[in-house]
Amino acid sequence: MMVKLTIGKSWLVIAAWLFCLAARAAEPTGAAVGDDVYANPEAWLCRPGHDALCTVATEITSIAADNSQSVTTRKAATAPGIDCFYVYPTVSTEPTGNSSMSAAPEVQRAVAAQLAPFASVCRPFAPLYRQVTIAVLESRLTDNPVKGDTEMAYHDVSAAWQHYLREDNHGRGVVLIGHSQGSHVLARLIAEEIDGKPAQALLEAAIIPGLNFEVPAGQDVGGTFKHIPLCHDGKQRGCVISYVSFRAETPPPHGAHFGRTIHPGMEVACTDPTLLSGAPVDMALPAKTMTMDGADEWHPLYDTIRTPFFAVPGMVRVQCMHDAHGGYLAVSMTARDAADKRPSDIPGDLVVRGHMVYSWGLHLIDVNLLMGNLVAFVGRHERTLDAAK
């Protein structure tokens, strides 16, 4: 059984649907900002001295096989040795093609869900940017399309990055983190401003799931990036984690937006965070922003969760696949013990107007499905840095 996730006005409308469609017909709608804009703390969701949103303790309710619950808390580090620079996915519900520089509630929810857990291992930076909005997607269903400007979004993030390098970095290692639109923007930033340039020496890693990151078939560098390889080891520096997640039983179909490439000789990369962290799937699914559809077996349990995140340890396994369906992270349910009282599946599929969108797989939960593994990977870099001092 698949537990559906309906599309709604929440951070989970990460809607790669939106960004990929918008990017095809983007038109300039405004001027780029200079990096002096980011001298104002209000242009950031998080930065040192202005980071309450990102440094709140992360509480996760773990649901055991007998349905018993336990809560674990991940606290923000007091003096981490490395930084995390985060670009949030498509979440803005503003009616224009590009958002304003506003810390709207939906933007704050995205940061709390995807960046805050990393504050336990790194110093968080999250710039506001004028992203392409959900309105662009919705308008395509009408006769009055709203046009978004991907150049505006990119140049905002580039300006924030330049300000960070000049004012905050001071030679510190940095992990770049994004998802969906955020990953697209960061991939371009890395390709144009980091790959093969002096700033590459600062790169601890790039975590950019939710886009088709390409490499030559059977290789780990030479596609989207020319000098920065995929990660193969938990302590490897200067590498990339990228994947698109699909249920194993419904891999990327023909014409899928994720997992397949049209470029001869290339494949969509897949790095498995469980192998990099040396641990099984360690999830932190948002507990307060998921809308269940057709999930009657989940509701009694879901309604008892009081923390921002929840997990069902041991229920899920993942494996990178490169086959006739493309390159993707295959997500499977583990064999169930007869005594396991939990629901038989996890939420995460995209449903639009009552129909499952198989071409997007489990895009909505790419990051949170493996949050603990990703945080552990970044934490290894923090410990390695400390050991080197």
Kindly indicate the confidence band of residue 92, based on its pLDDT and cuts at 50, 70 and 90. very high
pLDDT at position 111 is: 96
DSSP 52: T
Amino acid at 68: S
pTM attached to this predicted model: 0.91
**pLDDT higher than threshold 80 for residue 26:** no
pLDDT at position 256 is: 87
Top pLDDT among 369 and 347 is at: 369
Query: Three-class SS of residue 118?
Result: helix
**Averaged pLDDT, 238-259:** 95
pLDDT at position 382 is: 72
Least confident interval from 209-213, 216-220, 255-259: 255-259
Kindly indicate the confidence band of residue 387, based on its pLDDT and cuts at 50, 70 and 90. low
How far, in Å, CA of 209 to CA of 187, rounded?
Answer: 10
Q: How many CB atoms lie within 10 A of CB 332?
A: 13
Least confident interval from 25-29, 300-304, 306-310, 311-315: 25-29
**Averaged pLDDT, 151-178:** 97
Kindly indicate the confidence band of residue 3, based on its pLDDT and cuts at 50, 70 and 90. very low
Kindly indicate the confidence band of residue 191, based on its pLDDT and cuts at 50, 70 and 90. very high
How far CA 21 is from CA of 2, 135, 146, 263, 326, in Å, comes to 26, 12, 12, 19, 21
326: nearest Cα among 376, 260, 264: 260
**pLDDT higher than threshold 50 for residue 198:** yes
Amino acid at 59: E
pLDDT at position 21 is: 42
**pLDDT higher than threshold 80 for residue 296:** no
pLDDT at position 33 is: 67
pLDDT digits (tens, 9 = 90+) for 261-285: 999 999 999 999 999 999 999 999 9
Are the CB atoms for 310 and 63 separated by under 8 Å? yes
**Averaged pLDDT, 175-192:** 98
How far, in Å, CA of 360 to CA of 345, rounded?
Answer: 18
pLDDT digits (tens, 9 = 90+) for 313-343: 999 999 999 999 999 999 999 988 888 999 8
Tally the C-alpha atoms within 13 A of residue 326's C-alpha that lie toward its C-beta. 29
One DSSP character per residue, 325-374 reads: TEEEEEEEEPPPPTT--S-SS-EEEEEETTEE-GGGTTGGGTTGGGHHHH
**pLDDT higher than threshold 80 for residue 27:** no
**pLDDT higher than threshold 70 for residue 37:** yes
Q: How many CB atoms lie within 10 A of CB 173?
A: 20
**pLDDT higher than threshold 70 for residue 229:** yes
Q: Mean pLDDT across the chain, nearest whole number?
A: 88
**pLDDT higher than threshold 80 for residue 140:** no
